[in-house]
Amino acid sequence: MKQAPGALKTSDIVEEAGVPADVYERMVALRRDLHRQPELSGQEQRTAERIVAELDRLGVESITGVGGHGIVARIPGERADPCVALRADTDALPIHEETGLPFASECAGVMHACGHDGHSAMLLGATELLLAGPTPPVDVRLLWQPSEEHGTGAAAMIADGALKSVGMIFGGHVDRHYPPGVIVASEGAVNASSDAFTVEFCGRQGHGARPHEALDAIVVGSLFVTALQTIVSREIDPANPSVVSVGRFDAGTAPNVIAGRACLQGTIRAQTKAVRDHLNEAVKRIAEAVGQLHGAEVSVTLGAGGTPPVVNTRHMAKIARTAARDVLGDGAVPKLRTANMGGEDFGWYLQEVPGAYVRIGSQVSGRESEPAHSSRFDMHEAALATGAAWFARVAHVAGAELAATAAENRVT
């Protein structure tokens, strides 16, 4: 690129990415339509119908109902398998939108606050680019996955056979930390594991004026919250990013009644399996110790709906970077600046087949401070062009390697 990505206009970014204006306009229209009618995890029926309608328009056959409301489609290549899979997610979040956008959500309390509407549109744009360009070296499998926000969609699609004959898989996520016209393709951990925990302390309810006759579950729970802070600060190597956070503390029924029960819920994040296992064990150990200290009964539930970290190997990251440089040039492919502790169920795919996950610059001027999963989140629509172009190109780069490897294996 001749200019820094952040200085380019939308039309410049679209042109640099090699996306025809009409394809870009259709991506924008689809993204906005999905944004107006968001659907929560497990409820993505209309979203799936819209995507299938676009695939029908393009003459691409698809299979629906995969892993819930998931869709699997195919673009034929020079050889059938192993194929390259490209994945986008489709679900929204239980958040009331406050962006003021002209295409804001029309569904009260539901919003595309994470950019999955954009991801869905990108993959359809990539479909058009692949159909219009040279035949890919191998088949390209297109996956529109539901229920990413619940962390269950990827595993459900795998169980329904979405990865059969897949040699490599690639995905990406819009990222407000980077300007449009940029794709971040780094090796190593790019998303953290995500595990939920629930801890319940049962004491004895009593009168607020006579605490000696009760066992205060709020005091026990508060000590647990305080003790948790020592796990990351004193038990984990500072070189390994990790998080333990309590997000919910339910206890008590009235100001003058000592609570007999406290229920706390939180999240555990790590970027390696060893640290993930240690954090889960430490939460359980501390909960049980705090309960024993005060004589309270303790119930601990760990790992419900947990997802593994997303880790790009050096080789897979190189393929993703090569595709990004082919589309955008060297100056538009920076490294990941900081550890990303957000969860992403794409990690389930990478436990089955090689692949990579990238970040797609989508920063909106004036909204830099609005994070994903917030009511004011928005994405720069120029990211649709860069994402679609990268998806299409990585299908060719990865496909060429898979085809070459298959040819070598036939010879030997």
User: What pLDDT, on the 0 to 100 scale, is given for residue 304?
Assistant: 65
How far, in Å, CA of 36 to CA of 51, rounded? Answer: 15
Check if the beta carbon of residue 376 is closer than 8 Å to that of residue 313.
no
Per-residue pLDDT tens, the chain, 412 aa: give them: 445 666 679 999 999 999 999 999 999 999 999 999 999 999 999 999 999 999 999 999 999 999 999 999 999 999 998 999 999 999 999 999 999 999 999 999 999 999 999 999 999 999 999 999 999 999 999 999 999 999 999 999 999 999 999 999 999 999 999 999 999 999 999 999 999 999 999 999 999 999 999 999 999 999 999 999 999 999 999 999 999 999 999 999 999 999 999 999 999 999 999 999 999 999 999 999 999 999 999 999 997 669 999 999 999 999 999 999 999 998 899 988 887 899 999 999 999 999 999 999 999 988 888 899 999 999 999 999 999 999 999 999 999 999 999 887 776 5
The SS3 assignment for 394 reads helix
* CATH number for the domain whose boundaries are 193-307: 3.30.70.360
Q: How far apart are CA 181 and CA 173, in angstroms?
A: 14
pLDDT score recorded for residue 305: 66
pLDDT value for 6 = 60
Query: Amino acid identity, residue 138?
Result: V
What does residue 69 show for φ and ψ, rounded to 5 degrees? -100, 30
Q: Give the start-to-end residue ranges of the domains of the chain.
A: 5-191+309-411, 193-307
Q: With contact defined as beta carbons under 8 Å apart, do 71 and 48 qualify?
A: yes
Q: DSSP for 148-162, please give it.
A: TTTT-HHHHHHHTTT
Can you say whether residue 188 is alpha, beta or left, with left for phi > 0 and alpha for psi between -120 and 50 degrees? left
Q: Are strands 355-361 and 166-175 parallel, antiparallel or unpaired?
A: parallel
Q: At what angle do helices 116-132 and 45-58 cross, to 10 degrees?
A: 10
Peptide bond into 82 cis (omega under 30): yes
What is the CATH architecture of 5-191+309-411? 3-Layer(aba) Sandwich (3.40)
Same fold yes or no, 5-191+309-411 and 193-307: no
